[in-house]
């Protein structure tokens, strides 16, 4: 994996910076306990779950004298940003890695598109998760990003892998916005039961997305 980030100072990863953050996300997300309300019901609000994910990730980094700072992004950006180091460093004030989060399945309230993890039709209603990265609408200058899938229907990550690929296949068959079967998710060689996808942007640049799915627990 190419390393597009210059790493300075002690305590930062000796390995490729993207490999280090992906390994951390893989391990930390697998231990994440989804937030519950006072009646012990799972909280289903995406923003509240994501805030809890940030707290969980950052708590682990704090306890291990970690290498990264996880922050909730501005609403105009993506859900989670990752900054190098724990303390303030004038060289590392902007995220080097971005994460988008989606509920699986997409909530049916307010007429939302059930394919929202991938693509929203028509564009006037918004843009899907993968679509935002693919189009360059988000993370325009990033080559590597991640998506978190909050599974809320009891299905497995493999089930949702097939569902998402079915959505991409239909978009490809329908000829919508240059989608093709090359956009499908594949099993990651790096992590068991994780997935990745590579997309060609209109600029000709590639972006690689790692997909991390977890059930409520």
Q: Which residue has the tokens 């490999």?
A: 19
Check residue 9 and give its pLDDT: 37
Check residue 91 and give its pLDDT: 82
Using one digit for the tens of pLDDT, what is the confidence trace for 124-170?
577 899 999 998 888 988 999 999 999 999 999 999 999 999 999 99
Q: Which segments within 14-108 are labelled E, that is strand? A: 68-72, 80-84, 97-104
- The stretch 99-127 carries a mean pLDDT of 87
The dihedral sign for the CA sequence 184, 152, 77, 52 = negative
Check residue 87 and give its pLDDT: 84
21-30, 50-59, 78-87, 99-108: which range is least confident on average? 78-87
Write the CB contacts of 215 (distance below 8 Å, at least 6 apart in sequence): 151, 154, 155, 156, 157
Check residue 11 and give its pLDDT: 47
Q: Which residue has the tokens 């060609």?
A: 200
Using one digit for the tens of pLDDT, what is the confidence trace for 42-81?
999 999 999 999 999 999 999 998 889 999 876 556 789 9
Residue pair 99/29 in contact (Cβ under 8 Å)? The answer is: no
Write the CB contacts of 60 (distance below 8 Å, at least 6 apart in sequence): 24, 28, 66
Please name every residue paired with 36 in a beta bridge, in sequence order, or none if there are none.
Answer: 42
Average pLDDT, the chain: 88
For the entire predicted model, the pTM comes to 0.90
- The stretch 81-91 carries a mean pLDDT of 88
Check residue 178 and give its pLDDT: 83
Asked if the model's pLDDT at residue 24 lies above 80, the reply is: yes
Residue pair 25/212 in contact (Cβ under 8 Å)? The answer is: yes
Check residue 10 and give its pLDDT: 40
- The stretch 104-113 carries a mean pLDDT of 86
């Amino acid at each position: 994996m190419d390393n597009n980030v210059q790493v300075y100072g002690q305590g930062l990863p000796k390995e490729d910076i993207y490999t280090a953050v992906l390994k951390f996300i893989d391990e930390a997300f697998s231990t994440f306990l989804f937030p519950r309300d006072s009646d012990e019901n799972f909280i289903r609000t995406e923003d509240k779950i994501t805030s809890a994910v940030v707290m969980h990730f950052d708590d682990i980094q704090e306890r291990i004298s970690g290498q990264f700072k996880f922050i909730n992004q501005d609403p105009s950006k993506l859900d989670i940003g990752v900054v190098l180091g724990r303390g303030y460093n004038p060289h590392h004030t902007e995220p080097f890695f971005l994460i988008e989060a989606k509920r699986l399945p997409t909530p049916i309230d307010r007429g939302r598109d059930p394919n929202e993890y991938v693509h929203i039709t028509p564009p006037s209603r918004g843009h899907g998760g993968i679509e935002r990265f693919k189009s360059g609408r988000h993370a325009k200058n990033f080559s590597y990003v991640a998506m978190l899938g909050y599974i809320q229907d009891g299905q497995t990550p493999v089930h949702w892998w097939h569902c998402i690929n079915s959505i991409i296949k239909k978009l490809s068959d329908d000829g919508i916005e240059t989608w093709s079967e090359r956009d499908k998710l594949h099993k990651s060689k790096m992590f068991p039961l994780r997935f990745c996808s590579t997309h060609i942007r209109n600029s000709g640049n590639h972006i690689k997305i790692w997909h991390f799915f977890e059930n409520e627990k």
